[in-house]
Every structure is written in C-alpha cells, then in structure tokens.
Chains A and B, each alone.
Chain A
Amino acid sequence: MEVHIQLTKLRTKLFCSCNSDYRDAEPNTHLCPICIGLPGTLPVINNKAIEFATKIALGLNCQINEVMYFFRKNYFYPDLPKGFQISQYNKAGGKAFADGGKVTIRLNSNKKDILLDRIHLEEDPARLVHKGSIRTSPYTLVDYNRSGIALIEIVTEPVLSSPAEAREFLNQLKLIVQYTGISDLSLEGSLRVDANISIKGHPRAEVKNINSFKEVESALIYEIMRQKNEIKKGKEIIQETRHWDGRVTIPLRTKEFEKDYRYFPEQDLVPIIITKKNIDEIRESLPEMPYERVSRLQHQYMLSEFDAENLILDKDIADFYENGVNSDPTFGPNEFKLYCNWLMNDIVGWLNENNSKIIDTKLKPHYIVDLILNIKKGTITTKMAKTMINDMMKGKTISKILEDKDKKRISNEFILEKYCKEAIEENPNIIKDFEKNPKAFEALIGRVMAKTKGQADPKITRKILRNLLH
C-alpha cells in the first residue's frame, strides 16, 4: 500500500508561504506564483515539514536519512502545474526521507508486524473537480488551493494478505499519526490510499483514489473478487492502474500513467541535512507512541492488555483516563479498573450514541472520580449513577446533581403537614387498610412524594404522617 497523508497541522504549504488551511476556502484563493508553478519561481523548503516528517518517521520506527535530496517526478497531468512533482526517490542516487519501519497490528488475537519500505516527503498536486463521476463529467475544474500542500507518502512492503489486515494497518497508522500530532485525519482528503493487489502468481493492479478508511476494505474486496473472476474465466490479469469510484474499480487509460517518471534531482533545492542532534531533539519532543503507552498503562495502572489497548485507541480518551485517575491520590488498582470501565463503557457509549468526541463535551476527568467516590460512600447506587451520565456529559458532577436535589427538598414541617393532610383526606381507602396492612403507610408516603414531585423530605414526611395517624 501507498498511503498519502497531508500534514494538515502545518500552517503553510511545503515550498511556499501560502496558508495550507484550504478546506473551507473559495477555490483558487490559497495560491501564489510558486505553488501554481509560474515560470521563474523557485521552491523554498518549509522546515516545519521536515520536523513533522521526522516525527512520523520516528513514530513508525524508521531509519531517517541524515542527508537527502528532493527529486523531480516528471509526468503530464492537468493537476500538476509544473509538469513534475517535487518528491523524493530512493533510487538513481536519491534517498528516501526514511527507510524501513513497521506498524504492529492485532487481528483475531494474532500480532503481525506490517513492515514499511520507505517514507517520502512531497507536494500534493492540485485538486480536480468533476461533476458527478470522473467518466461522465462534461468538464474538469482545477482548484490549486491544494497544490503544494505537504504530503507524506508511506509505502509498505508487500506483506498485507487480506483486506482486514489492510484495514487494521490503517487504523494503527491513523493512531500513530494522531499521537504525533502532525495531521488531523478526520479532514476530508487528508488521507489517500493507493493499493497494489495481486493474486499469487499473477500480475498486480494498482487501485488509486481510495479516499477514506472505510472504503479501503470494500475497494480491496472488490478488486480481489474481480481478479479471481478474471482468472476463473481463464483471462490474464493486466498490469494496470485502476480508479476506485466508490463502488467498483475501473481501468484508467494506460497512456495517462506511463510509468517512466524520469526521476532526477531537483537542483533548485539544496540537500536537506538532518543531524543526529536534530533527530534526538525531535525524539525528545515526541509524545509517547500508542504501542509504548499500552505497556505503560498495563504496568502503571495494573490494567489488562485488553483494557490498555482499548484506552489508547483514541489519544484524547487515554489522556482523559490518565488525568482522571491521577487527580485523586487515594486511587488504587481497584479504582483504576473502575474508572476504565466507566470511561470505556458508559462514557464512550454515550459519545458513540451522540456522535461526539470527548474533547467536545463538558465532561471533566474528575467527574468520574466523583462518581466512583459517591458510589463508594453509598450516596448513590450504580444504577442511579448510570441515570446521571447524561447530566455529567453536560457539565455536572454527581455531587452537584445531588446537591441540587437537596436544595429543592421540602423540609418545612408546616408545608409538609398540609400535603400529608391532603393525602390522608384524598385516600380514605388506604387509611382503612392502614390497621391491617403495614405497606399502606409506605403507599401514603408515595402519595405525598407524588404531590411534591419527589421533593418532600422523606424522613420528615414519615414523622408527620405517623403523628397525624396516631
């Protein structure tokens, strides 16, 4: 697989100072002579992009090359204003940004290392806009806002053996990207996948334009089925490039993608030198990676591997967890586990139902501490706590919810006596029963509660009713 990830957290493009936050902008408003490749312009490297690429390379355990060059990848396409893309190349005297690396995935409780071949830093072409499908659109429009956005290309070794593995690889990759903070992959078009697929012993086809995580699996399933059918029919698989249109893969004319890109050095840019010191500094600044966090969470909070792996699936959730359990010094292994259960079951459940992210709610990490302590004290039951989740998400602690109930409680004897008398008068049947049936007394309390919408203080009500009925 070739995974392209935009460095969306960069403020400017890769080789010019245009604003890279183009998504809500009018077409062709985020551009300058450089990123539309006007004659005479020259690229100047965005050093922050080098730093970001270094971060992801470290996060993926790649070997970073200390001296590297940019190369030109030459081909004609309407989205490519210079007639070449400034990229990198690991042959012909060139070097990748970083080599090797791996992503560990778990599928059906089996672990597998997905080995990476290399990482490149390169510029994004412009965006072609079609009316409906690429095949039937009467026109193609070009939006250069995307032209020159910094991209990371991650190329795996040919080691993925099923669509499910591919999906899981992308999930883990996404997580690592989230942890490094270089990109927000929830943004449309921030991740694009090209997949090379072959049935053992047959030529491969390349499927381009897979633009979301969800589609990867379906595109691969489709393509595998297509190739198997071809083989079954006794046809040869053609080595070609195909386009995923969201439903099926369709062949692109071979003319558009002749494979001789005539790579050669981009001499308008000087070689990039990343010293060991630079790399060490960036490594220092890098947050803990998800796979590192799993083992730390297990040890630090005595969590099971299952719990730890679940927690780190969203960096914000894992951060929330740690902030929470660390905010009360009395917490021990038992509470660590309880907190994890509440967070992963009730809170995440609520988030899923409401299609929301934890950072967008008013829930604070200590709210769950408060919840656990209230249950421990016996102020509330677990069952009651569950009914309070919705209020908690909107910014109220359990203690506050209880306190509010307290404030509204009617404990004035004079007022309560009035309610009690009414209840007795209105319910002669219950009074008749009273001598024989002790439950009738409780029923009467229920009536008072109903009249006061549950705000009557139960202790005082009981006392008043006793006095009145004696």
Chain B
Amino acid sequence: MELNNLMAYELLEKIKNREITIQVVIRNAFDRIEKSDKLFHSFVNLSKEKALKKAKDFDSNIQKSRKIGRLLGLPFANKDLICVKDFPTTCCSNILQGYQPPYNASVIEKIVEQEGAIHIGNTNMDEFAMGSSTETSCYGPTYNPWDLDRVPGGSSGGAAASIISNQAKIALGSDTGGSIRCPASFCGVVGLKPTYGRVSRYGLIAFANSLDQIGPITKCVYDSALMLEIISGKDPQDSTSVDIKVDKYTEEIKKSVEKKTVGIPKEFFSDGIEPQVKNSVKNAIKKLESLGVSSIEVTIPHLEYTIATYYILCMSEASSNLARYDGQRYGKMSQNLEGDVFDVFNRTRGEKFGAEVRRRIFLGTYALSAGYYDQYYIKALKVRTLIKNDFQEAYKNCDVIIGPTMPCTAFKIGELINDPIQMYTIDILTCPVNLAGLPALSIPCGFDNDELPIGFQIIGNYFDESEILNVGYQLEQELNIFRKIPSLTKGGM
C-alpha cells in the first residue's frame, strides 16, 4: 500500500476502517526517518520505543473502544519547544540539554493524550525559535527536501521538512513572526498561525509571549482544519486564551467562496518581492477570481515600520523570557564554577546560548533599559497599535487579506546567516500578522524556476480561522498541486 502520499485524513480513514494497522503506520514512519533524516535532519530527538508500544496498544484496543480518537494512530512531529512530559524538550539550545519537562503542554494533552496522535519525536528549529532558516539550532541545520543546499525556512524548519518528506503526517509549530508560515512556504506545505488567544500557549516555551502562537503544519488544508478544531479553545491554564466558540472548521472549509472579497495590500507587492513569487501569487489570485471571488486593493500604510517594531518587541520580551536559563535548576551549567553565583550565571549564559540568542537578549535588554524604554519599547507598542488599526481599516472592505507569505523562495544555507538585518527583513510579510494578533494561513501556490515552492498567505480577521481555511481549501483544490512532493522523497525511502 502506498502510504506516503496520503493526506493525514486519508490515512486516518484507513486506520479507522482497519485497512492498515497503526503499528505498520508508525513503523513505516520510523523507517522513512531512518533512511531520510540523514539527508534532511528534521528531527532532533526520536521517541521510537514509546511510539511503537503505543501503536501496539492502540491496535489491540481499537476493536474494543467505542470512541476513537480524532487523530488516532497518526505519526505526529512536535516542535522542540512544546513540552512533552518526560521527553527531552530543548528549544534546540545547549542551555536546555538534558531537560525533560515534568508536564505536557495543553496542546499535547489534546492531540496525543485525548485524540490518539502518536508522538514520534521532536523537530529541529532555530534556537529558541529565533531565526528564519533553522540554521541557529545547536544540533545543526535542517536541509530543505526540495534542494538540500537550501534552508527549509524557520524557525519550524524541521516540522515543515518532516511533513513534506512524509516522515510525519501532522506536525505542530509555533509562530512568533512567521515561524510556521515561512517554513511552510519554503517547503511547500500548509502552515497555520491561529489568532493570538485561539490556542493555549501553556507548555509552549516562550520566545516572545505577546506574539507566540502554536499552530499546525500539514500537507493539506483539510488536515490543518482538523488539527485546529482539536487544539483551539479556552484553557484555564492560559489567561490569554479566549473563550470564543470553536467552529467546525472541517465543514466550514467546504463552503463556496463565491462573492467573497479578498483584499490585496499594495505594499505586499513592492519591489522587495521576487518577481517569480509575485507572478505565482497573482496567478493564484486569478484562480480565486475564477471561483467567484472579487479582489480589491487595500493598504497597510505602516508596513514599512513592521520589521523595526517587531524586532524591538520580540527581543525585549525574549530578554525577559530567557532570563530563567541560568543553569541553577535544569539544563546545563558552565563547568567553570569560579567566582560567585552571578559569575556562574553569566558564564553559563555566555557559553550555552548561541550567537543569535545572545544578540537578541542584548538588544532586548538595551531596549528595556532606563532611558531607552520610552524611545524603543513604548514607541514600538504604539506602532503596533497603528498596524492593528491598519488591518482593521482594511477589513472594512474585504473578508480576508492575501499576498505572498515570503518575499522569496528558499535561500541557500549560509547565504544570510551572517547578515542578520537581511535575515530579519524577509519576515516583512509575516510579522505584521503577529503584531496585529491575526490568524494567517500559508499554502503552496506554485514553484519557481528552480522547482522551489512558493507560499500564498491568507490573513483573516480575529478568530476568523473559518474564513481563511475556507479560502485556502478552495484555492488548494483549484490549484491541485498539494500532492506534489520533492523527488528526493519519492518511492520507498
């Protein structure tokens, strides 16, 4: 049976109908990982023994149990910053080596403990999710399955690579400034960043807590809708999660999109966007129009301030969120214990954090310091409000906002790593969404001349995930490229 090109929901049907055992599914996943991960390096830690045992238990109980988990038996890849009880969760950082959380994140409780997905391992990412290329991981980079010389995007690069290469069927990522959508775009998969507050952050190790949000990375929009249905909702353990009705997204997506209006921000097609990306996105818009969607031009006037605003805020928050890593209670402490406790704290942090993380802590600390706070942090908060207002103004005339996810396709490994400003700038179309707290979806809409995927971004109003998934699903069906996979991942590998 050809398992590898199945969408998660298709595989789920076969499991439910007992056309295939869960043990075969999980063994197949590990076989693929063992063969292909030498090339892609999607995973940083595997949970093979537990996963196989669980598969066996599920197989023997599937006859008896009346209620079947909505993700039963699906191989699930977890990003290395979402806590899994008694499993190494390290944010791909040396400072968290050896750390195993004593609790499950709320999303893990839902998809693994309640709905039966099988956790097969944790995926690679930029250290503490700080990056757009998965190159800052302490375990080394992930390689894009479409072209091994290129990055998979980041920070959830391992997750996106594991999905496009059929190592896992469903994955979770986190998105602070584009960390789900960027790798989804570069790897040609579906990435969803929900509204801030839609999904509980309890157990998500914070990078920038006012921007972070967990979301699914999947092969197709239906799988994404299925995942979102499960992980959404108010969680008493996360005060910022919101008690707003969770739609039946898997049904909502199938509605007609006729007579919907999409807004196209003119700033999303500026000179900084690669022409091939522009063309591919414009073609996709034509497809939407052929479905009866009308498009209008809108404007996000403050987009030019987005990068500065985003980086000031995320670095400020990070400087505080990462203060707890001093080696005193968990993770690794410096071997050199000379001096007093503060010397050891400083040395530990200096040795164990990578260069990008240190850069962001320094800059964030600076931005929050007395005398600079008003000039940087407070000012950035004000611009954040202006950007929110820009989107709200735009939504007066349209249902969703669309454009490219990234200004470019996957770049070469090492190409931008020594040019942080350039690296930061590629987040220009994703991070305004986090600043505004809006939901956004990235789906593949085509390929460039190098056969690298191009991402199409659909941004919705607050808690309007139904709308973006609906538009995304109908466009995906119309484009019909979602079953295309990299040649490297074909066959029995």
Query: A: which residues have CB within 8 A of B?
Result: 33, 36-45, 72, 74, 76, 78, 81-84, 92-93, 140, 142, 255-256, 260, 262, 264, 267-270
4 new A-B contacts at CB < 8 Å, known A74-B323, A76-B323: A40-B105, A45-B239, A74-B320, A93-B378
List the B residue with the shortest CB-CB distance to A44: B239
| Distance in angstroms between the alpha carbons of A41 and B330 in the assembled complex | 14
The smallest C-beta distance from B273 to any residue of chain A, in angstroms, reads 32
B370 within 8 A of A: yes
**Residue B447 lies at the interface, judged by CB distance under 8 Å to chain A:** no
Q: What are 23 contact pairs spanning A and B, CB under 8 A?
A: A37-B324, A39-B83, A39-B89, A39-B99, A39-B205, A40-B82, A40-B83, A40-B101, A40-B105, A42-B202, A43-B239, A45-B239, A74-B319, A76-B323, A76-B342, A83-B326, A260-B369, A262-B365, A262-B373, A264-B368, A267-B209, A267-B210, A269-B239
B-to-A contact residues, CB < 8 Å: 81-83, 89, 91, 96, 99, 101-103, 105, 201-206, 209-210, 236-240, 316-317, 319-320, 322-326, 328-330, 341-342, 345, 365, 368-370, 373-374, 377-378
Interface pair A270/B320, CB less than 8 Å apart: no
Choose from B102, B210, B323 the contact partner of A38 (Cβ within 8 Å): B102
A39 and B368 form a contact (CB under 8 A): no
Task: Report chain A residues within 8 Å CB of B105.
Answer: 40
Are A40 and B323 within 8 A (Cβ)? no
A140 close to B341 (CB less than 8 A): yes
Name the one of B319, B322, B370, B378 contacting A260, with C-beta atoms under 8 angstroms: B370
- Minimum CB–CB distance for B329 against chain A, Å: 7
- Distance in angstroms from B310 CB to nearest chain A CB is 15
* Bound complex: CA A270 to CA B102 (Å): 26
Shortest CB distance A268–B (Å): 6
Picked from A42, A76, A81, A84, the residue with its CB within 8 Å of the CB of B238 is A42
Would B328 and A78 count as touching, CB distance under 8 A?
Answer: yes
Contact B328 A268 (CB under 8 A): no
Instruction: List chain B residues, Cβ under 8 A from A268.
Output: 209, 238-240
| Structural contact, B369 and A262, CB atoms closer than 8 A | yes
Is A76 within 8 A of B345, CB to CB?
A: yes
Measured between beta carbons, the chain A residues less than 8 angstroms from B99 are 39
A260 to B320, CA, bound (A): 13
In the complex with contacts A93-B378, A260-B369, A264-B368, A40-B240 CB distance below 8 A: no
Q: Report the Cα distance A142→B83, complex, angstroms.
A: 25
Residues of A within 8 A of B103 (CB): 33, 38
Q: Is the CB of A36 within 8 A of B329?
A: yes
Residues in B neighbouring A260, C-beta threshold 8 A: 369-370
User: 4 shortest A-B CB distances, which residue pairs?
Assistant: A83-B323, A262-B368, A267-B210, A39-B205
**Interchain CB contact under 8 A, A39 and B342:** no
Q: Tell me which of A33, A40, A82, A264 contacts B204 (CB under 8 A).
A: A40
Contacts of B205 in A (CB 8 A): 39-40
**Which of B96, B323, B345, B370 is close to A84, meaning CB atoms less than 8 Å apart?**
B323
Are B320 and A72 touching (Cβ within 8 A)? Answer: yes
C-alpha spacing A38/B85, complex, angstroms: 12
* Cβ-neighbour of A82 out of B102, B323, B330, B378 (below 8 A): B323
A93 and B204 alpha carbons, distance in the complex (Å): 28
**Given B81, B102, B320, which contacts A264 in the complex, CB threshold below 8 Å?**
B320
Give every chain B residue within 8 A of A43 (Cβ-Cβ): 239
Chain B residues near A267 (CB-CB < 8 A): 209-210, 240, 317
Q: With A and B bound together, what is the CA distance between A214 and B245 in angstroms?
A: 57
CA of A376 to CA of B332, assembled, Å: 80
**Inside 8 A of A92's CB, which chain B residues have their CB?**
373-374, 378
> Within the assembled complex, what's the spacing in Å between the Cα atoms of A78 and B378?
30
A67 to chain B, nearest CB (A): 15
A83, A140, A264: which contacts B373 (Cβ < 8 A)? A264
A380 to chain B, nearest CB (A): 64
Interchain CA distance A256-B99 in the complex, whole Å:
28
Residue of A nearest to B91 (CB): A39
CA–CA, A270 and B234, complex, Å: 14
User: Could you tell me the distance between the alpha carbons of A356 and B25 in the complex, rounded to whole angstroms?
Assistant: 73
Using known A-B contacts A81-B329, A140-B341, determine if residue A44 contacts B237 with beta carbons closer than 8 Å. Answer: yes
